[in-house]
Structure 1
Amino acid sequence: MKKLSLLTSILALCTSLVSAQQKETYDYNQANREMIQYGVQAILTCNGLFTSDRTLEQVYDQELKYLKAPIGTAEGGDYLIDWNNKTVTIGTTENTPNMRAAYREGIGCVILAPDQTFEIIDDLPFQTLSPLSGDAASIPWPEGDLVKKQKLPKYIDKDLLTAASNWSFERESPEQVTLSLMVVHKGQIIHERYADGVDMNTKTRTWSTAKSIAVTLIGMLADQGKMDLDTPLGLEWLPKEVTADNDPRSEITLRNVLNMSSGLYTVDSRGMEYATGSGLAYWAGASSVNGARNRGLIRKPGTFWDYENYDTILGVLAMKNTLGNDETYLQFPRTALFDKIGMRNTFISTDRFGDFILSSQVYTNARDLARFGMLYQQNGMWNGERLLSEKWIDFVRTPAPSTADRGNFYGGQWWLVPDDRNDVPKDAYSTAGNRGQFVIVVPSHDLVIVRRGLDYGRQGFDRWDLTREVLKAFPTDYK
């Protein structure tokens, strides 16, 4: 028996070794990764130059800093920039991917498919609405940018507020780059600071802070009774071989996707964001909504939290279907939100098919994000008009049920103070975007904090640590 047991163990070991040797190591997505690498640079360069109005040197020094191997330098390389037509091509030879991005008025830059040239530029989406009227410089804050100098409230410690600002800008890691910091208390700007080469007009990418803008727009339609959290999305799923009658995905609700709990197979959270999934829409010209709809259900909706760009895109697609008209859809963010509160520096980009990439690709400045945060701080009111219901704000601030056993850290496209943090008020909630984009709302202190960054490499700027540092300037018994 001992010999048989030993033989069995040896056979098991051999089988294990063979399996290890046969483990798949070839990267079958290498071609996609190279294409996306070029596409990332095309979009970031195009938006950096023509949406953010930055110099090519600034783009290479900051926007492209987080890329492992950017193509060329500010002095030149394998790229073409058409300054007159506002286009960028990364890769110009037959041996490299050729990825092209074109600036479109009111939208920002749109990435083309690899086989497209700029001959189709006139067919790409653009914003048909005229810019918001009036000169922001002569319109008082918050609708405009005219800010009257006011004394800091006596109960706020100026030195500690300055110390919090220095904490934000003077990081232990040179890879954490703070571009701007705003602190708004009771609707007034009590601190505003910008890095060299940045000012209040500089627009940069929000990354996933865009998700919180998306849920706001969806909430406006829900407040009108046009969308409902617990009604199935009503989407046509892919592939089309299955019907709604027998497709389990037809049970996914708006609440499920906004809670990041759709139950659909996740792509981005599995390390494939820059190889397939939403990356193909962000950076390579694929349809964002087709990719979002073409995923199988692997869990019961609402039972498991898994962060996924495509979940947000599904909610935005349901919003588009609700609006029912392409032009109405493209204008809706402006007419319903941005123009109402003076966010005149905010662009939402689309894919080449005209679908908003509201999971990531919004370009804006610190002041517009402060206005956005103030809308929430004011419980959805703006100049006496209700733009968003308190019921919807309660939803975005309520922990997703699927996070209950993991710290209650996420609500409806907003991040919440996790259970294990006791150094900041529990009523605080925040947007969060890659490279350090945060809008933090602290209702108990009538406070909005905006931090914009271009972090790279060793990221990790902590929004709750920033909140803690700012609140040191307030009295401990503040109410």
Structure 2
Amino acid sequence: MKRRHTLLATFFALNALSAHAEYDVFQPQREMIHLGVQAVLTCNGLFTSNRTIEQINAQELQYIPGKFDVPPSQLVTIDQENRGVSISNNAGVTIRALYRKGIGCVVLRPDQDFSVANSLPQIKLPTPPANFETMAWPMGEATKPYNFASEKQKKAIEKVADWAFETPTEEQDTLSLVVVHRGEIMLERYAEGVNRYTKTRTWSTAKSVLATLIGIKVDNKEMSVDDALNVNWSPKLATSESDPRRSITLGDALQMSSGLYPVDSFNMEYANGSGLSYWAGESSAEGAVNRGLVRKPGTFWDYENYDTLLATMSLKSTFDNVEDYHLFPSQALFKKLGMHNTVVSTDQYGDFIFSSQMYTTARDLARFGMLYANEGKWFGEQIISPEWIAYSTTPAPASAIRGFDYGAQWWLRKADKNNGPANAYTTRGNRGQYVVIIPEKDLVIVRRGLDYGKQGFNPWALADRVLQALDE
């Protein structure tokens, strides 16, 4: 009898441990983040992208069931006057997002409502030139027909567009495709309900834009990839000199090898870490600095949004005031390239969320890609140096485990294992945002999507098809 009692006790103990192991203590945060995803995507869809709620429900929000295996909430309130969106669940939790000029929609904490609107940041961006629509591409929007080498080449590039838009799975939803060859638009096609003025979220393609802005500062000797990150770590130690995180360089952060404790990996991206700043109103800066060092910097590759945000904070530290910081992306890059349809979001505390939250058009991303295809030069001005481009497209040492496919906020193809620059590289953003650059062909390919579920659009397969079409 005693043995039977012992066996039963062991059985119940093991089952209790199993049940405990399966319980997700982060589930309340996950549910809050689900609401925030819907609030931000709906708010920006309506007021930044100028899309209809029907389009948003059919495309932007398809990401929610595909990613989280839950349907979007039906408890939706749209405030047209304040340009805000509230999303609630049956437990009474509400997440709100509010549109602000120059930055798009800002997500609020669950304890905040639209009465905080006047305390939220705004950025007064420069207006486009009066003749922007008639000015010649790329500084303006007026384009001329591409001079194809032959009718066969023209048909071949059109077939590439057919392939990109008529994917074999519904989960790949191409919105736009722009191909620029030798500075001229060779191909431009949009899905129904989308046009050249439609701004959509870049997701992590924004990371490559941040790297460009940092490159401008590095070229001007205001920053160095070998310098320690200029941030105030949390929790603060008795003496800052004793903090091991002071060994992390700007380059480590750009190359996704900070060595800090991972918070966006291992199924935690939408439960903790940057998810709370993206979708639940937390400070992106405070979250980024509150991680401990668990590995030697530069030795382990781990894709973390907070590494990008740490680099963003170091960029911010180079400015004397927040106004100059807020205007820097536009003045140093966007305005010069004619990217007048691009906005970068901040959190409610005024910190750029350059790891993901940028809204722009396919044409503006094509302009951005052209800068790299032109070796950093734009109409005679060297905006970023060839040396910075080489650094950005040289494999990060810690990316060896991945086959040397990551540089400094850029994804690489056919990278040299001896750490030479890649001969083709791309931005990569969630839901299918790519700006592929093949410098030796003076070729830029922009593909925008609202993919969901398994996704899996292959930018290199697209690039190969474009290259084949060029040879026709």
Give 3-state SS (helix, strand or coil) of 2:97's partner.
strand
Taking structure 1 as reference, are residues 133 and 420 closer, same or farther at Cα in structure 2, changes over 3 Å only?
closer
1:53 pairs with 2:85:
no
1:197 pairs with 2:193:
yes
1:126 pairs with 2:115:
no
Q: Distance in 2 between matches of 1:116 and 1:214?
A: 30
Q: Give the C-alpha shift of residue 26 in structure 1.
A: 1.3
1:396 to 392, 402, 413: 392
Structure 2: which amino acid aligns with 1:41?
Q
Would you say the 8 A contact 1:435–1:456 is kept in 2? Answer: yes
2:218 maps to 222
2:167 maps to 171
Structure 2: which amino acid aligns with 1:50?
F
1:5 maps to none
Structure 2: which amino acid aligns with 1:84?
E
Give 3-state SS (helix, strand or coil) of 2:63's partner.
coil
Give 3-state SS (helix, strand or coil) of 1:306's partner.
coil
Q: Any residues of structure 2 matched to 1:18-57 within 5 Å, and which?
A: 21=18, 24-57=21-54
CA-atom RMSD, angstroms?
2.2
2:402 maps to 406
Q: Any residues of structure 2 matched to 1:15-414 within 5 Å, and which?
A: 21=18, 24-68=21-65, 69-72=70-73, 77-91=74-88, 95-154=91-150, 157-414=153-410
Give 3-state SS (helix, strand or coil) of 2:98's partner.
strand
Aligned residues between the structures: 457
Would you say the 8 A contact 1:156–1:474 is kept in 2? Answer: no
Q: Give the C-alpha shift of residue 154 in structure 1.
A: 4.1
Q: Give the C-alpha shift of residue 252 in structure 1.
A: 0.3
Moved over 4 A (4+): 13-20, 418-421
Q: Give the C-alpha shift of residue 117 in structure 1.
A: 1.2
Would you say the 8 A contact 1:407–1:420 is kept in 2? Answer: no
Would you say the 8 A contact 1:184–1:370 is kept in 2? Answer: yes
Would you say the 8 A contact 2:39–2:96 is kept in 1? Answer: yes
Q: Give the C-alpha shift of residue 212 in structure 1.
A: 0.2
Give 3-state SS (helix, strand or coil) of 1:261's partner.
coil
Question: Percent identity over the alignment?
Answer: 53
Q: Distance in 1 between matches of 2:376 and 2:126?
A: 26
Give 3-state SS (helix, strand or coil) of 1:157's partner.
helix
Give 3-state SS (helix, strand or coil) of 1:53's partner.
coil
Structure 2: which amino acid aligns with 1:101?
A
Structure 2: which amino acid aligns with 1:120?
V
Q: Distance in 2 between matches of 1:242 and 1:16?
A: 43
Q: Give the C-alpha shift of residue 273 in structure 1.
A: 1.2
Taking structure 1 as reference, are residues 436 and 242 closer, same or farther at Cα in structure 2, changes over 3 Å only?
farther
Would you say the 8 A contact 1:71–1:79 is kept in 2? Answer: no
**What's the TM-score once normalised by structure 1's chain length?**
0.91
Q: Give the C-alpha shift of residue 82 in structure 1.
A: 1.0
Structure 2: which amino acid aligns with 1:439?
V
Q: Distance in 2 between matches of 1:87 and 1:213?
A: 27
Q: Any residues of structure 2 matched to 1:419-434 within 5 Å, and which?
A: 427-434=423-430
Deviations 1:291-330 (CA, angstroms, capped at 9, x unpaired):
1100011110000111000000000000001123100011
Q: Give the C-alpha shift of residue 234 in structure 1.
A: 2.6
Q: Give the C-alpha shift of residue 34 in structure 1.
A: 1.2
Question: Where does the alignment leave 5 or more consecutive residues of structure 1 unmatched?
Answer: 1-9
Would you say the 8 A contact 1:229–1:253 is kept in 2? Answer: yes
Taking structure 1 as reference, are residues 132 and 419 closer, same or farther at Cα in structure 2, changes over 3 Å only?
closer
1:443 pairs with 2:436:
no
Deviations 1:340-371 (CA, angstroms, capped at 9, x unpaired):
11000001000000000000000000000000
Taking structure 1 as reference, are residues 302 and 146 closer, same or farther at Cα in structure 2, changes over 3 Å only?
same
**What's the TM-score once normalised by structure 2's chain length?**
0.93
